[in-house]
């Protein structure tokens, strides 16, 4: 184990995969000479040369298409979209081509493409640069979408994404790049489509992914210490395929669930998770599933407004309290119940 | 508009009394603010808001009772909508998904599912709202949810509401309860009893009770009073009581107590009372006659319960009504320990701060009216115990000693006994032992 940042874990994994497999190469805006807007690719151009680390024009649709073609012919491109907001320019390439080619043409060509891209608000980047639109890709059959929340998962899921034969959208998060954690030294890819129970508990299931998986873990730890609440935390890790089984089995044990998401509420990932719970654990629910999500506004630039619009720890705690109250977990002072 | 409902605050609670409104109409209410103090059968508790808004209207004024789930106030949450009519779920569900329809809202979107829906409050015709988990458990255990009052948001029946039913294995075949006679023979948390939802006050009580001929007026009964009424009615109705009276020469007891207290006072320690000595005496007598330290286990049971521990309750006349704190393992404690514990329990009883632990688990009760110069009385058994000792005053009486009358301290007491589990001879032997202990009081403190 080595303690490193999420950023460093990504960098080291990219480098290791490039060393391991000659077919792995990188493309993206400013990833070479400038070493990447978030410095994930620092030093890689020097080490591997222009053939393996390609700076591209500001033309997302174009280089996404080039990467798809390269993937179809046997290479393993890892494309960096500077932020997930810009990936919308390549939506046609990703949704209509990368996701469809294997199925539409009878399996003649796979598209082993990875699109790495950070989402997330909170950096005062304005409404068009702060979105969480991974849902666009998680919606599309033929795609895989993974969303690591820790440095260890960043490594394990990036290994899995690069070695996977289908197109994978690899969701990073601006607020997570500097977070630190222990990372295994061995190269063991994660299984795409597996959620992780990061904290077992009995009172309530708290579900999140990416940044909100962090928030979930923190809130659960704080409430355990402060109030003795025993909250189970699930980090979804993969949005497509979605690990419905882990979520459902957890809710069957806890009888209540709160979902935290950084995207908008309506039609969001949380809605899908809530529907899965309703499908698989309806008879185990003692209270309605609650979702905590972003305000339904274009994210404001102003810091106070931005903070107010993003889901916070306090919002999560409020939703947890309301849900626990709804299942009768009130703080009952001594002297009330008469056995 | 959100209906604030009478919460279920204890397992045995069937209704609560509004003690003090801590918010007044027009006041802003935040989540977690104390709205109201509710008096339950055992304590006065603060009840917090779990929705924010402005208190619009108080429906149940201070001093009045309401059944669990009955609306006690209206909270204006800004929706401006009147409470949905019972059973009318969907409109409320639509409205509660507010954020999507209000894109300008800068509030973080938190779903407020149908939880706040003012739900059907179960008047017999409207289906009960129950969580899916409760429905499943009800199906599997054949529970009759029509007898259950929901304490979840909007009156939803949640798992906590049926834990008693589940524990007691009640089934759907439970007969229609007669509202006037909830089964309370055992003090075990009774299955939630039929609802006493605030239908307009029963005509019988109000109109016929208050009349000019007798100059009557109706005053609210406290929860404690009502529990006493129900439990003692059940005890008197169902337990075949018989009574055995004995009298002890208390001369030595008074002497011992005087000597003991003089020495305790010198050592700056708390005194012991006759009652403390009696608690210990009864504990020792029960140790000698374990057949008295028992409980009847119900008509359907083939067994009776013999208790290995001797836990002695003593009746305290608190302002709010009779309450019986329990001194556990009284046979293993010294008289001074019992005295200290009793003092503490009496203080807590007066302050209404006794915990369930301190009022439960008794195997025998002592009721002492000696301080009121009562010569002798009989008491009603405190179920599931099998006996209670009613103690009169220690007073000087003329007693025949040899051929002359001498003034002696005498103490009279009557044991009320549950004849289902204890026969007369056993009761008499128990009293014999007790009398001997009182007449040779050093054996009590030995």
Asked if the model's pLDDT at residue B207 lies above 60, the reply is no
Residues of B within 8 A of A339 (CB-CB) are 11, 188-189, 356, 360
Q: In this structure, are strands B34-39 and B15-21 parallel, antiparallel, or unpaired? A: antiparallel
* Helices marked H in chain A: 6-20, 44-48, 60-72, 91, 101-104, 135-138, 151-163, 211-227, 244-254, 269-281, 303-309, 313-326
- Helix, strand, or coil (residue B440): coil
Candidate from A118-132, B84-98, B259-273 with smallest mean pLDDT? B84-98
- pTM value is 0.54
Cα A149 from chain centroid?
7
Higher pLDDT, A49 or B165: A49
Measure A148 CA to nearest chain B CA, in Å.
24
Residues of B within 8 A of A312 (CB-CB) are 108
Candidate from A142-151, B8-17, B146-155 with smallest mean pLDDT? B8-17
Size of interface A-B (CB pairs under 8 A): 147
Mutate to test the interface with A, among B11, B32, B133 (most CBs of A within 10 A): B133
Inter-chain CB proximity B113 and A288 less than 8 Å: yes
Higher pLDDT, B181 or B283: B283
Asked if the model's pLDDT at residue B79 lies above 80, the reply is no
Inter-chain CB proximity B111 and A283 less than 8 Å: no
Higher pLDDT, A320 or B164: A320
Higher pLDDT, B13 or B310: B310
Report whether B375 contacts B412 (CB < 8 A). Answer: yes
Measure A91 CA to nearest chain B CA, in Å.
25
Span A93-109, pLDDT tens digits: 999 999 999 999 999 99
Inter-chain CB proximity B152 and A318 less than 8 Å: no
The CATH classification number of A196-326 equals 3.40.50.920
Comparing CB atoms, the residue among B9, B131, B151 nearest residue A336 is B9
Residues of A within 8 A of B321 (CB-CB) are none
Q: Which of B13-17, B106-110, B186-190 has the highest mean pLDDT?
A: B13-17
Domains and CATH numbers, chain B: 2-168 (2.40.50.100), 239-445 (3.30.559.10)
Instruction: State which residue of chain A sits closest to B39, comparing Cα positions.
Output: A336
Inter-chain CB proximity B11 and A338 less than 8 Å: yes
Calpha distance B305→B384 (Å, rounded):
10
Residues of B within 8 A of A330 (CB-CB) are 7
pLDDT at B11: 65
Establish whether domains A2-183 and A196-326 are of one fold: yes
Span B125-145, pLDDT tens digits: 456 789 999 988 888 888 888
Calpha distance B251→B274 (Å, rounded):
12
Arithmetic mean of pLDDT, A107-115:
97
CA-closest candidate to residue A314, choices A243, A250, A229, A222: A222
Asked if the model's pLDDT at residue B178 lies above 60, the reply is no
* Cβ burial B303-330 (10 Å sphere, 16+ → b, else e): ebeebeebbbbbbbebebbbbbbbbbeb
Calpha distance B30→B51 (Å, rounded):
7
pLDDT at A230: 93
Q: What are phi and psi of A291, to 5 degrees?
A: -120, 140
Inter-chain CB proximity B114 and A310 less than 8 Å: no
Comparing CB atoms, the residue among A288, A290, A294 nearest residue B108 is A294
Candidate from A82-91, A120-129, B61-70 with smallest mean pLDDT? B61-70
Asked if the model's pLDDT at residue B284 lies above 50, the reply is yes
Domain ranges in chain A?
A: 2-183, 196-326
Instruction: State which residue of chain B sits closest to A271, comparing Cα positions.
Output: B111
Asked if the model's pLDDT at residue B176 lies above 80, the reply is no
Query: Could you tell me the pLDDT band of residue B64, with boundaries at 50, 70 and 90?
Result: confident
Inter-chain CB proximity B159 and A255 less than 8 Å: yes
Measure B12 CA to nearest chain A CA, in Å.
6
Span A248-291, pLDDT tens digits: 999 999 999 999 999 999 999 999 999 999 999 999 999 999 99
- In chain B, the percentage of residues whose pLDDT exceeds 90 is 40
Q: What is the mean pLDDT of chain A?
A: 94
Calpha distance A37→A30 (Å, rounded):
7
Asked if the model's pLDDT at residue B104 lies above 70, the reply is no
The CATH classification number of A2-183 equals 3.40.50.970
Comparing CB atoms, the residue among B11, B99, B187 nearest residue A265 is B99
Inter-chain CB proximity A288 and B114 less than 8 Å: yes
Question: Is B419 in the active site?
Answer: yes
Calpha distance B229→B235 (Å, rounded):
10
Measure A199 CA to nearest chain B CA, in Å.
23
Candidate from A33-37, A78-82, B149-153, B272-276 with smallest mean pLDDT? B149-153
Residues of A within 8 A of B106 (CB-CB) are 295, 297, 305, 308-309
Asked if the model's pLDDT at residue B186 lies above 80, the reply is no
ipTM value: 0.72
pLDDT at A241: 98
pLDDT at B386: 96
pLDDT at B31: 84
Cα B279 from chain centroid?
22
Span B357-415, pLDDT tens digits: 888 899 999 999 988 989 999 999 999 999 999 999 999 999 998 899 999 999 999 99
pLDDT at A334: 31
Report whether B430 contacts B388 (CB < 8 A). Answer: no
Inter-chain CB proximity B152 and A326 less than 8 Å: yes
Query: Could you tell me the pLDDT band of residue B80, with boundaries at 50, 70 and 90?
Result: low
Q: Which residues of A are catalytic?
A: 60, 129
């Amino acid at each position: 184990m080595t303690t490193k940042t999420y950023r460093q874990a990504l960098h080291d994994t990219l480098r290791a995969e490039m060393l391991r497999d000659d077919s792995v190469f990188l493309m993206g805006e400013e990833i070479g000479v400038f070493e990447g807007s978030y410095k994930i690719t620092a030093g890689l151009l020097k080490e591997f040369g222009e053939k393996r680390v390609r700076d591209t024009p500001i033309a997302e649709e174009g280089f996404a298409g080039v990467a798809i073609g390269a993937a179809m012919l046997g290479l393993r491109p890892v494309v960096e979209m500077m932020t997930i907001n810009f990936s919308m320019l390549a939506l046609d390439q990703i949704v209509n081509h990368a996701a469809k080619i294997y199925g539409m043409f009878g399996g003649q060509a796979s598209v082993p493409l990875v699109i790495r891209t950070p989402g997330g608000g909170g950096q005062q980047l304005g409404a068009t640069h702060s979105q969480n639109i991974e849902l666009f890709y998680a919606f599309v059959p033929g795609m895989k979408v993974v969303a690591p929340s820790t440095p260890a998962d960043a490594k394990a899921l990036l290994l899995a994404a690069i070695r996977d034969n289908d197109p994978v959208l690899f969701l990073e998060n601006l607020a997570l790049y500097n977070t630190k954690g222990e990372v295994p030294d061995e190269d063991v890819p994660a299984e795409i489509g597996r959620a992780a129970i990061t904290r077992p508990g009995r009172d309530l299931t708290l579900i999140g992914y990416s940044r909100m998986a962090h928030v979930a873990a923190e809130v659960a730890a704080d409430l355990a210490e402060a109030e003795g609440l025993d909250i189970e935390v699930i980090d979804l890790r993969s949005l497509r395929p979605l690990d419905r089984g882990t979520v459902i089995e957890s809710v069957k044990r806890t009888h209540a669930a709160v979902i935290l998401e950084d995207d908008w509420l309506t039609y969001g990932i949380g809605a899908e998770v809530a529907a899965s719970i309703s499908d698989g654990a309806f008879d185990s629910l003692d209270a309605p599933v609650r979702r905590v999500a972003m305000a339904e506004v274009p994210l404001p630039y102003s810091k106070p407004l931005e903070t107010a619009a993003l889901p916070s720890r306090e919002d999560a705690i409020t939703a947890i309290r309301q849900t626990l109250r709804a299942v009768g977990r009130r703080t009952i002072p001594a002297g009330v119940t008469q056995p | 508009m959100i209906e604030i409902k009478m919460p279920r605050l204890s397992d045995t609670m069937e209704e609560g009394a509004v003690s003090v409104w801590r918010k007044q109409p027009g006041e802003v209410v935040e989540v977690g603010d104390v709205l109201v103090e509710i008096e339950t059968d055992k304590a006065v508790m603060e009840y917090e808001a779990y929705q924010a808004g402005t208190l619009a209207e108080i429906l149940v004024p201070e001093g009045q009772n309401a059944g669990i789930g009955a609306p006690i106030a209206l909270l204006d949450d800004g929706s401006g909508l009147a409470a949905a009519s019972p059973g009318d779920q969907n409109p409320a569900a639509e409205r509660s998904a507010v954020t999507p329809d209000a894109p300008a809202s800068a509030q973080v979107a938190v779903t407020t599912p149908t939880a706040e829906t003012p739900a059907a409050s179960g008047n017999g015709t409207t289906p009960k709202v129950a969580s899916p988990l409760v429905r499943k458990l009800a199906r599997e255990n054949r529970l009759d949810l029509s007898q259950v009052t929901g304490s979840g948001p909007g009156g939803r029946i949640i798992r906590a509401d049926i834990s008693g039913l589940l524990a007691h294995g009640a089934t759907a075949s439970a007969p229609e309860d007669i509202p006037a006679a909830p089964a309370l023979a055992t003090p075990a948390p009774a299955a939630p009893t039929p609802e006493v939802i605030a239908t307009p006050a029963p005509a019988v009580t109000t109109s016929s009770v208050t009349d000019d001929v007798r100059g009557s007026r109706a005053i609210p009964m406290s929860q404690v009073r009502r529990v006493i009424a129900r439990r003692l009615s059940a005890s008197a109705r169902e337990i075949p009581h018989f009574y055995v009276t004995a009298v002890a020469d208390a001369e030595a007891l008074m002497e011992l107590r005087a000597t003991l207290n003089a020495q305790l006072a010198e050592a700056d320690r708390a005194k012991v009372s006759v009652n403390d000595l009696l608690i210990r005496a009864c504990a020792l007598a029960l140790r000698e006659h374990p057949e008295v330290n028992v409980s009847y286990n119900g008509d359907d049971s083939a067994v009776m319960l013999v208790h290995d521990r001797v836990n002695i309750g003593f009746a305290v006349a608190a302002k709010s009504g009779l309450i019986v704190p329990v001194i556990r393992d009284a046979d293993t404690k010294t008289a001074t320990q019992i005295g200290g514990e009793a003092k503490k329990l009496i203080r807590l009883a007066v302050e209404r701060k006794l915990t369930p632990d301190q009022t439960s688990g008794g195997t025998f009760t002592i009721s002492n009216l000696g301080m009121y110069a009562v010569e002798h009385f009989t008491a009603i058994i405190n179920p599931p115990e099998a006996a209670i000792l009613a103690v009169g005053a220690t007073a000087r009486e003329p007693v025949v000693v040899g051929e002359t009358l001498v003034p002696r301290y005498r103490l009279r007491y009557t044991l009320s006994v549950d004849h289902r589990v204890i026969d007369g001879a056993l009761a008499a032997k128990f009293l014999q032992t007790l009398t001997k202990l009182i007449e040779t009081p050093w054996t009590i403190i030995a």
